[in-house]
Structure 1
Amino acid sequence: MTTFGRDVYDDVIVGGGHNGLVAAAYLARAGRSVLVLERLGNTGGAAISSRPFVGVDARLSRYSYLVSLLPSKIVRDLDLRFAVRRRTISSYTPTERGGRPGGLLVGGGEQRTRESFARLTGSEREYESWRAFYGTTGRVAEKVFPTLTEPLPTRAELRARIDDEAAWRMLFEEPLGQAVERNFADDLVRGVVLTDGLIGTFADAHDPSLAQNRCFLYHVIGGGTGDWDVPVGGMGALTDALAAAATKAGAEIATGHEVLRIDTDGVAPAEVVFRTATGEGRVVGRTVLVNASPQALAELLGEEPDRAAPAPEGAQFKVNMLLSRLPRLRDASVDPREAFGGTFHIAEGYEELRRAHAEAAAGELPSVPPSEIYCHSLTDPSILGPELVERGCQTLTLFGLHTPARLFGHDNQQAREVLLTATLAQLDAHLAEPITDCLAFDADDRPCIEAKTPLDLERELRLPGGHIFHRDLSWPYADPATDAAGRWGVATAHPNVLLCGAGAVRGGGVSGVPGHNAAMAVLGH
């Protein structure tokens, strides 16, 4: 049994992912005694860097990989040594029309983007629609993003703050597909817009639940601009900085401590029971902050999960690769360093996305799997060892859509292999050489590629159903609440137990927002 610095802590934090570390740093800086208990042998959760390939000095952001929702306020408040780098290209989407390869390049300056739209569609009308549409989302982002680290506004308050009825209706009331179809005519452009509503979210463009709208909203408001940036040094650089900030402020962090149970009556200090390699132990916290899913919280409290809520289900396919070189493209007009420098969309036309969703909803793996790729090392080569940089090696991270966990339940390994083959085939259709010819090899002479299904993420990270947001994303507003935890969106049924993970209101993604908000609730702000 582990011996800690004290028997009773002001705050015990269950889970050392990035949100738990944010909460720990804020609370410790406020002079409170804080203990973080983490099941794994390292902090960071899904926001880590690791070397997945034997004998290869490449530190990949293995699970989460880009930063948009992390408020600069948190970086400043906690004095974090952490930076992000802007990508010069936003996206490249290859296609073939009239038997000739081409594509849509967004970025590299307004004129290049305008010309790319004109080549694709034959006129500038689609580009003007693009500018107008993202002008609207940009204005909404400026209004909404600052509220994420403030007490929750009501629906009416947020609507008044946005002060644009057309934008409110487009994003908050009608299915996203209506806005996409109303504003854009080209199938490929429509698909590129829609993808931001489908990251980790299994929904159709016209889903009446508006899950796709909530996902889209969080993807276009980050930083008040919607930009998705590359974490310098990899995602692990963020969580390492957070752990250092928490420790410097006086928080204790204990890895290899799996929490088994939380005993509380909601009033008296709670008892947290944990397990280590040497046995079980207990510690008391006046407040317990849980950086885990609502489903995991219910299990720790010995309660039944909310049966009224749908069971969480992830819907993404993650592939990490290390290449000996970037592949050549069939579209010779585009430099591969630019094409892969932003987000490289594959099989993400509007109709392709609709078909993939329909097939998955019917219980079949998508026959034409949609996915998108980005290359961290083009923007930030620091994640590669000097020898790999000298050889011209590059990383590729692929994120597949419309692959819900239910498709892998019968035989996860076989389904993973089938989906990987089909996904790489869709990429190869736009390359002048097979992607497998470009893979680097590890010290055991195996190709540097790994694939993870939702079930793999559930097993490795305890994400319920492999859901990267712990559950479907929430709207960033709520009914008026009377206590601090409710006002900050982190309340549970127990006053001294708060939710500080991605499943909190305004959770999801690498943001630190739930950790910040839980700390503010504890401090009575």
Structure 2
Amino acid sequence: MSFRIGRRCFSKQSYDAIIIGGGHNGLTAAAYLTKAGKKVCVLERRHVVGGAAVTEEIVPGFRFSRASYLLSLLRPVVMQELNLKKFGLRYHIRNPNSFTPIRNTHESLLLGMDMAENQKEIAKFSQRDAGNYPKYEHFISEIVHSFEQLMDYEPLDLQKPIHKLLPHLYLLFKTVQPLGLRNAVDFYELMTAPISKIMNKWFESDVLKATLGTDGVIGLAASPMDPGTGYVLLHHVIGGLDEHKGAWGYVYGGMGAVSNAIAECAKSHGAEIYTEQDVQEVLLDGNVAKGVRLSNGKELHSKIVMSNATPHVTFNHLVKKESLPEEFHRNINQIDYTSPVTKINVAVKELPNFLAKPNQGSEPMPHHQTTIHMNCENMQVVHDAVMDYKNGRYSRRPVIEMTIPSSVDRTIVDSADGHVVLLFTQYTPFSPKDGEWTEEKKTEYAKHVFSEIDAYAPNFSSSVIGYDILTPPDIQNTFGITGGNIFHGSMSLDQLYVSRPISKWSNYSTPIESLYLCGSGAHPGGGVTGAPGRLSALHALKHF
């Protein structure tokens, strides 16, 4: 569920910290600051907190995880230090977790947490791949084991003199040392090569390569044949739940329950959280942030200000251009926010009935709880979808990831047989070549996606009760996410680690003293991780 904060009268005019934006990272920053004894005020523009991690009832009786929809990347250190289970966070770990039906056949690939079962499934397509799959998983897990530690530490501050960087450099060395030379070479290739090259190196089965390889293009306006897509795959397999590496889960009550648990933790330590508070400007005294001005003219003052907005919004809307160094402002405006994603949240009267695995009655089957990959028979299908996008139109065969959280969580639907179906689709341009996203064009695209699903589950279109469609402009306008980019900026190699959001300013500080970034536009980037919120708060605490 997503939660309104009813209190509208500010308890004070001055705080230790004001946080702009009540997304999950802003709430995380608030929780860490209040735990450290600071007086914190969170200001959220919308009527609910959570940012993109929200649950909303758009179709009566059906509650959607409207933007983000699965849990895995939330950093264990955040979950433990904030004790989020105490504040109500509950989730279901999916097993199996991936289902790829093959169009115009009765074949499919079902993968989960049991390696022997996975090998049996893969052997239907290739005995060689079945033998290689455990080796591939071991290869990925070794890299993840070393690399994921970087998610919990600030990037190197390249503005510091070298002698002050030595402790951090040693930590970085200890992090990557376990990779060894051989794995370091493989890691370099994974970071720089097209995901198609990585998949072709390991496997021969088209459906396995495409199923694994789509993680390299999720949320990215790129083809699996494009260099650098290997890192995006790594980012999406870096998580896990309850010691189950790489596991993904459904949050009971939807993704808004994640934000609510973090908000409840912050409030338990004294944070004040206000909704429907639109911040118009960061107040400056010379080059020092001193508070904010709301759109209604009210001013609130603080020792520091933290922005959970994108770097574009922060430095083009909340801070005047003349207050920023020219080079900094120019580099901020070079950040790539391109997004190919349209999210469609659907209320249906019955479960999809897949030709590859027909329903047996009305109860959910194991494959219904997975991520269901459609138009994913091979990487050429994905590449062709990108080519349509690059030509200015939505994909004729859009890449579709379907999840059905109501298959395990009945708290999000009121009817006995109804279900919530969440569709993460690409590729859709922000500004199509044949005209902007009108309501008619959005309806056309939704029906096109539904008809594509019908090729796999013929009852789908006829089962639709209602839906909510969010194109890239809708994601931008609804959640304040520039370009509709779910990561607050592309997760390309030139926008990671010491270059996130830009080089020389990757450690949450900004050229404005006492103004910090705490959103996904900062290291380590997008996804429901809580990491930017935690790291920015810890960084700011050193400067109080």
Normalised by the size of structure 2, how large is the TM-score? 0.85
Which residue is 2:417 aligned to?
A: 392
The amino acid that maps onto 2:446 is L
Contact persistence 2:43–2:277 (CA under 8 A) = yes
| Residue 412 (structure 2) aligned to one of 383, 389, 405 | 383
Give the Cα separation in 2 of the matches to 1:151 and 1:337.
43
TM-fit CA distance, 1:479 = 8.2
Matches within 5 A, 1:420-499: 420-431=446-457, 433-439=458-464, 447-473=465-491, 477-478=497-498, 489-499=507-517
| Residue 369 (structure 2) aligned to one of 338, 341, 351 | 341
**2:26 aligned with 1:39, yes or no?**
no
Cα gap change, 1:241/1:308 in structure 2, threshold over 3 Å: closer, same or farther?
A: closer
| Residue 372 (structure 1) aligned to one of 401, 406, 410 | 401
Give the Cα separation in 1 of the matches to 2:433 and 2:526.
23
Which residue is 1:254 aligned to?
A: 274
**2:442 aligned with 1:416, yes or no?**
yes
Give the Cα separation in 1 of the matches to 2:537 and 2:90.
23
TM-fit CA distance, 1:271 = 3.0
- Superposed CA deviations along residues 346-366 of structure 1, whole A, max 9, x for unmatched, are 002211001111111111221
Which residue is 1:442 aligned to?
A: none
| Residue 133 (structure 1) aligned to one of 131, 136, 140 | 136
Which residue is 2:209 aligned to?
A: 190
Matches within 5 A, 1:216-235: 216-223=233-240, 225-235=245-255
Give the Cα separation in 1 of the matches to 2:489 and 2:339.
8
Contact persistence 2:353–2:460 (CA under 8 A) = no
Stretch deviating more after TM superposition (175-184 or 41-50): 175-184
TM-fit CA distance, 1:469 = 1.0
| Residue 20 (structure 2) aligned to one of 2, 14, 21 | 14
Aligned to 1:215, what secondary structure does the other structure show? helix
Give the Cα separation in 2 of the matches to 1:113 and 1:301.
52
Cα gap change, 1:28/1:266 in structure 2, threshold over 3 Å: closer, same or farther?
A: farther
TM-fit CA distance, 1:297 = 0.5
The amino acid that maps onto 1:489 is N
Give the Cα separation in 1 of the matches to 2:192 and 2:174.
16
The amino acid that maps onto 2:209 is R
TM-fit CA distance, 1:152 = 2.5
TM-fit CA distance, 1:140 = 1.8
TM-fit CA distance, 1:125 = 0.9
Segments of 5+ residues of structure 1 without an aligned counterpart are: 440-446
Matches within 5 A, 1:165-314: 165-208=184-227, 210=228, 212-223=229-240, 225-264=245-284, 268-275=288-295, 279-298=296-315, 299-303=317-321, 304=329, 306=331, 309-314=334-339
> Matched residues, percent identical?
27
Give the Cα separation in 1 of the matches to 2:478 and 2:339.
14
Contact persistence 2:73–2:239 (CA under 8 A) = yes
Give the Cα separation in 1 of the matches to 2:72 and 2:122.
25
**2:120 aligned with 1:92, yes or no?**
no
Cα gap change, 1:270/1:62 in structure 2, threshold over 3 Å: closer, same or farther?
A: same
| Residue 150 (structure 1) aligned to one of 147, 150, 153 | 153
Cα gap change, 1:460/1:332 in structure 2, threshold over 3 Å: closer, same or farther?
A: closer
| Residue 508 (structure 1) aligned to one of 523, 526, 538 | 526
Cα gap change, 1:308/1:395 in structure 2, threshold over 3 Å: closer, same or farther?
A: closer
Contact persistence 1:66–1:228 (CA under 8 A) = yes
Give the Cα separation in 2 of the matches to 1:128 and 1:371.
28
Give the Cα separation in 1 of the matches to 2:115 and 2:475.
39
The amino acid that maps onto 1:29 is K
Normalised by the size of structure 1, how large is the TM-score? 0.88
**2:68 aligned with 1:69, yes or no?**
no
TM-fit CA distance, 1:307 = 6.1
- Superposed CA deviations along residues 342-394 of structure 1, whole A, max 9, x for unmatched, are 01100022110011111111112211111110111122222233xx2xx2222
Stretch deviating more after TM superposition (146-155 or 136-145): 146-155
The amino acid that maps onto 2:300 is V
TM-fit CA distance, 1:111 = 3.5
Give the Cα separation in 2 of the matches to 1:274 and 1:130.
54
Cα gap change, 1:372/1:269 in structure 2, threshold over 3 Å: closer, same or farther?
A: closer
Contact persistence 1:501–1:515 (CA under 8 A) = yes
TM-fit CA distance, 1:506 = 0.4
TM-fit CA distance, 1:320 = 1.0
Cα gap change, 1:347/1:38 in structure 2, threshold over 3 Å: closer, same or farther?
A: same
Contact persistence 2:39–2:271 (CA under 8 A) = yes
| Residue 23 (structure 1) aligned to one of 3, 10, 29 | 29
| Residue 123 (structure 2) aligned to one of 104, 118, 126 | 118
Stretch deviating more after TM superposition (156-165 or 344-353): 156-165
Cα gap change, 1:415/1:215 in structure 2, threshold over 3 Å: closer, same or farther?
A: farther
Contact persistence 2:393–2:434 (CA under 8 A) = no
The amino acid that maps onto 1:32 is K
- Superposed CA deviations along residues 236-264 of structure 1, whole A, max 9, x for unmatched, are 11111111111111111121111111133
| Residue 357 (structure 1) aligned to one of 382, 386, 389 | 386
Contact persistence 2:193–2:226 (CA under 8 A) = no
Contact persistence 1:266–1:496 (CA under 8 A) = no
TM-fit CA distance, 1:308 = 5.8
Aligned to 2:119, what secondary structure does the other structure show? helix
Aligned to 1:262, what secondary structure does the other structure show? strand
Segments of 5+ residues of structure 2 without an aligned counterpart are: 1-7, 157-168, 322-328
Give the Cα separation in 2 of the matches to 1:166 and 1:375.
39
- Superposed CA deviations along residues 415-458 of structure 1, whole A, max 9, x for unmatched, are 32332222222211112x3302223xxxxxxx222222111111
Give the Cα separation in 1 of the matches to 2:411 and 2:285.
49
TM-fit CA distance, 1:310 = 4.3
| Residue 50 (structure 1) aligned to one of 41, 56, 65 | 56
The amino acid that maps onto 2:39 is S
Cα gap change, 1:100/1:246 in structure 2, threshold over 3 Å: closer, same or farther?
A: closer
Give the Cα separation in 2 of the matches to 1:140 and 1:11.
37
TM-fit CA distance, 1:314 = 1.8
Give the Cα separation in 1 of the matches to 2:113 and 2:83.
32
The amino acid that maps onto 1:459 is N
- Superposed CA deviations along residues 34-85 of structure 1, whole A, max 9, x for unmatched, are 111111122111111111113x2x3221111111111122122122221222
TM-fit CA distance, 1:105 = 1.0
TM-fit CA distance, 1:268 = 4.0
Aligned to 1:264, what secondary structure does the other structure show? strand
Cα gap change, 1:216/1:167 in structure 2, threshold over 3 Å: closer, same or farther?
A: same
Cα gap change, 1:229/1:170 in structure 2, threshold over 3 Å: closer, same or farther?
A: farther
Cα gap change, 1:40/1:333 in structure 2, threshold over 3 Å: closer, same or farther?
A: closer
The amino acid that maps onto 1:401 is Q
